[in-house]
A and B are shown apart, each in its own frame.
Chain A
Amino acid sequence: MKKTYKIDVDCANCANKMENAAKNTDGVKDAVVNFMTLKMSVEFEDGADPKEVMPRVLAACKKVESDCEIFLK
């Protein structure tokens, strides 16, 4: 399953770091952060619940870049 979230982050390098953090979160198969459109698209592993995974992705991103936000609908 694939979902796209709006994000807010200030610098491109920080966006790269968020991408790596999201990729390394359990339940995430792949993640791509697009700094230009400020969007993060996350591909979840089979059986993973986005509602459960996304808060952990957010926490992981906050850890590498404190000044970032992922808007979970």
Chain B
Amino acid sequence: MNRKQKKNLIRIIVASAMMIGFLFIPVSGIWRLMLFLVPYLIVGYDILIKAAKGVKNLQPFDECFLMAIATIGAMIVAVIGDSDYYEAVAVMLFYQIGEWFQGYAIGKSRRNISDLMDIRPDYANLETDGQIEKVDPDEVEIGSVIVVRAGEKIPLDGVIIEGQSTLNTSALTGESLPRDVRVGDDVISGCINLSGLLRVRTTKEFEESTASKILDLVENASSKKSRSEHFISRFARVYTPVVVFSALALAVLPPLIRMLAGMDALWGMWIYRALTFLVISCPCALVISIPLSFFAGIGGASREGVLVKGSDYLERLSKTRTVVFDKTGTLTKGVFEVTAVHPEEIDEKTLLHLAAHVERHSSHPIAASLKAAYPGEADDCEITGVEEIPGQGARATVNGRVVCVGNEKMMRTVGASIRKCSHHHTGTVVHISRDGKYLGHIEISDVVKPGAENAIRSLHRSGVKHTVMLTGDSQRVAVHVADELGVDEVHADLLPEDKVSELEKLLEHRKPSEVVAFVGDGINDAPVLSRADIGIAMGAMGSDAAIEAADIVLMDDDPVKIAKAIRISRKCMRIVKENIWFSIGIKVLCLILGALGFANMWVAIFADVGVMVIAVLNAIRALFVKNL
């Protein structure tokens, strides 16, 4: 509760106590009016002032104006008619209670959501000349050394120069498994250091660090307003004047008609109904619950490692029927790994051992994968005369014998006879020979991510009708991967620009209400990401390019998160729709009941406050997406 809320609460309590007390004082006429004016003014003075200001500024159609008219009207009806003064006080009181509750609920949910996204570091331990000083992360320059103790948040992006530890990245990725880090690893701000002491050299300023960027993104997300939000603000703009004029008509027309028809005009009754009409008319429940739902949805998603850049995108994501994947880096790991070793005569380990030695100094991806497959490469074997032969492979002398590692052409050149492999290859095959004698081959391929198959299946379960894979890889490899994963459609041998045109073909053939999403790793596919209805970038930890290009960013590279993001968006949109229909429905119902005289002002106020509270509570549900 802030100061304003406390003050208002006191006003509400004092005024209610007075009103109830005054009901037992047996005075009537002008004295009774004077008596009830006291609590009325205590609880409603700010509303009256605001209403007056609104009229003065020629902006009369706001809630304060409505409330002022309604309550003053009720007073006048009480003076000339037979109802009591307390009704006006009660209406004002209930209105203020409603306002108070609304302010409290919104403040509370605002805090809840920002607590959830609490990745903003408060301080950094800056090390200067051996002294450690606690400073604002803003003040730390690039290249400074900071110390992160166990239990602290990493304040800025950087590289570890001393120490090892495990990091909790869950606030960024939604991934609960801690990540091990050691010297030389990049760390990103917002992670929590779980165990050891780390010394980190910063590589980015605070403004450019991951935590700041993410916060910025999520906080600004609601500025890209969705269609539902635009609808609501337009609705609110026409709604209030319409209601005010309808109320005026309700107050004047029926009595006039009755007069003309020769009946008793019943002015008091119709004016009372018109006032009730005004009380019901406040559009705030509607106006608050829609952005709040989106805000909660985006907050909940970011907690799961899904960054949505705008409520607009959340809305579109929920309509996704076709998901197009880039193969490399999204469904597959995008790094080459040794997937098969087929030696002749010698054992597998020796074959890998030799291959790794020859590729010792190469930085080619294939070389890297060979070295990765044989971790103990740097042993005491004697390797000399390493030579790369373009278009063929590499050659070196290992322990005095010439070893060649390369393609079929290279084997032909050195006179080694290749044994054709009966296995079904889907990757690159590297052959090895020693002193012209064929030793066997190693297959290297891009590996399918462990969760990929599950991801495609759960996409289909989440209502995605069609999955498509685009790749620059060969048809054979692409079809193999697609079959393994259950992808519906494959386009292989594509250059980056072909991917755009393939996507455009898909965009042409979809129904207008359906959305085509493209999933890429943010590298080389920025044009496709921006061309799709929704661009989803994966594995964005630390990659600015991906964060820039995409509409939705998955912080880690688990493809299962795509289906999860879609389910989150569905839930959020369901809540938004519920709130729209529920709020408008109850309002219209009350307006009709009020016009027909079935609802008095009390009912009207309760309808207003009740709808607002239910809508706000419903909106908060969008935050809970953990188990979707």
Contact at A36–B110, with CB atoms within 8 Å? yes
Q: Does A24 contact B (CB under 8 A)?
A: no
Contact at B288–A12, with CB atoms within 8 Å? yes
Q: Which of A11-51 contact B (CB under 8 A)?
A: 11-14, 16-17, 32, 34-39, 41
Contact at A63–B59, with CB atoms within 8 Å? yes
Contact at A34–B220, with CB atoms within 8 Å? yes
Contact at A32–B223, with CB atoms within 8 Å? yes
For A34, A35, A66, A67, which residue has the most chain B Cβ atoms within 10 angstroms?
Answer: A66
Contact of A36 among B62, B102, B291 (CB under 8 A): B291
Q: Does A1 contact B (CB under 8 A)?
A: no
For A10, A11, A14, A35, which residue has the most chain B Cβ atoms within 10 angstroms?
Answer: A11
Contacts of B233 in A (CB 8 A): 16
Knowing A36-B291, A63-B57, A64-B59 are in contact, say whether A12-B220 is a contact too (CB < 8 A).
Answer: no
How far apart are the CA atoms of A41 and B224 in the complex, in Å?
12
A34 CB to closest chain B CB, in angstroms? 5
Q: Does B236 contact A (CB under 8 A)?
A: yes
For B54, B283, B287, B295, which residue has the most chain A Cβ atoms within 10 angstroms?
Answer: B287
Contact at B222–A34, with CB atoms within 8 Å? yes
Knowing A16-B233, A36-B110 are in contact, say whether A11-B102 is a contact too (CB < 8 A).
Answer: yes
Q: Does B151 contact A (CB under 8 A)?
A: no
Contact at A12–B287, with CB atoms within 8 Å? yes
How far apart are the CA atoms of A16 and B233 in the complex, in Å?
7
Contacts of B223 in A (CB 8 A): 32, 34, 41
Contact at A36–B222, with CB atoms within 8 Å? yes
Q: Does B621 contact A (CB under 8 A)?
A: no
Knowing A34-B220, A63-B59 are in contact, say whether A11-B50 is a contact too (CB < 8 A).
Answer: no
Contacts of A34 in B (CB 8 A): 219-220, 222-223
How far apart are the CA atoms of A13 and B238 in the complex, in Å?
12
How far apart are the CA atoms of A64 and B58 in the complex, in Å?
9
Contacts of B295 in A (CB 8 A): 36-37
Interface string of A60-73 (1 = CB under 8 A from B): 00011111000000
How far apart are the CA atoms of A10 and B292 in the complex, in Å?
14
Q: Which residue of A lies closest to B229 (CB)?
A: A16
Contact of B292 among A14, A36, A41 (CB under 8 A): A36
Interface string of B94-127 (1 = CB under 8 A from A): 0000010011000000100110000000000000
Q: Which residue of A lies closest to B225 (CB)?
A: A32
The tally of CB-CB contacts under 8 A between chains A and B is: 61
For the complex, count residues of A whose C-beta is within 8 A of B.
Answer: 20
Contact at B219–A16, with CB atoms within 8 Å? no
Q: Which residue of A lies closest to B4 (CB)?
A: A10
Q: Which of B280-305 contact A (CB under 8 A)?
A: 283-284, 287-288, 291-292, 295
Contact at A12–B103, with CB atoms within 8 Å? no
Q: Does B53 contact A (CB under 8 A)?
A: yes
Contacts of B288 in A (CB 8 A): 11-13, 35
Contact at A10–B291, with CB atoms within 8 Å? no
Contact at B291–A12, with CB atoms within 8 Å? yes
Interface string of B234-260 (1 = CB under 8 A from A): 001100000000000000000000000
Contacts of B220 in A (CB 8 A): 34, 41
Knowing A36-B222, A36-B292, A36-B295 are in contact, say whether A67-B50 is a contact too (CB < 8 A).
Answer: yes
B459 CB to closest chain A CB, in angstroms? 30
For A10, A13, A39, A67, which residue has the most chain B Cβ atoms within 10 angstroms?
Answer: A13
Contact of B291 among A14, A17, A35, A39 (CB under 8 A): A35
Contact at B287–A66, with CB atoms within 8 Å? no
Contact at B110–A13, with CB atoms within 8 Å? no
How far apart are the CA atoms of A13 and B59 in the complex, in Å?
13
How far apart are the CA atoms of A65 and B287 in the complex, in Å?
16
How far apart are the CA atoms of A66 and B292 in the complex, in Å?
23
Contact of B283 among A13, A41, A66 (CB under 8 A): A13
B313 CB to closest chain A CB, in angstroms? 16
Q: Which of B310-341 contact A (CB under 8 A)?
A: none
How far apart are the CA atoms of A38 and B220 in the complex, in Å?
11
Contact at B236–A13, with CB atoms within 8 Å? yes
How far apart are the CA atoms of A41 and B219 in the complex, in Å?
11
Contact at B222–A13, with CB atoms within 8 Å? no
Contact at B284–A13, with CB atoms within 8 Å? yes
A41 CB to closest chain B CB, in angstroms? 6
Contact at A66–B50, with CB atoms within 8 Å? yes
Q: Which residue of A lies closest to B2 (CB)?
A: A8
How far apart are the CA atoms of A10 and B220 in the complex, in Å?
20
How far apart are the CA atoms of A38 and B106 in the complex, in Å?
11
Knowing A34-B220, A36-B292 are in contact, say whether A16-B110 is a contact too (CB < 8 A).
Answer: no
B133 CB to closest chain A CB, in angstroms? 26
Contacts of A35 in B (CB 8 A): 288, 291
Contact at A10–B103, with CB atoms within 8 Å? yes
Contact at A16–B236, with CB atoms within 8 Å? yes
Contacts of A12 in B (CB 8 A): 284, 287-288, 291
Contacts of B59 in A (CB 8 A): 17, 63-64
Contacts of B283 in A (CB 8 A): 13
Contact at A37–B287, with CB atoms within 8 Å? no
B112 CB to closest chain A CB, in angstroms? 11
How far apart are the CA atoms of A55 and B233 in the complex, in Å?
25
How far apart are the CA atoms of A11 and B284 in the complex, in Å?
7
B278 CB to closest chain A CB, in angstroms? 15
The 8 A-B residue pairs with the shortest CB-CB distance in the complex, in nearest-first order: A12-B288, A36-B295, A12-B287, A32-B223, A13-B287, A66-B53, A63-B57, A37-B219
Q: 6 A-B contacts, Cβ less than 8 Å apart?
A: A12-B284, A32-B225, A37-B219, A63-B57, A66-B49, A66-B53
Other A-B pairs beyond A11-B99, A11-B284, A16-B287, 7, CB < 8 Å: A12-B284, A12-B288, A34-B223, A36-B222, A36-B291, A37-B222, A39-B219
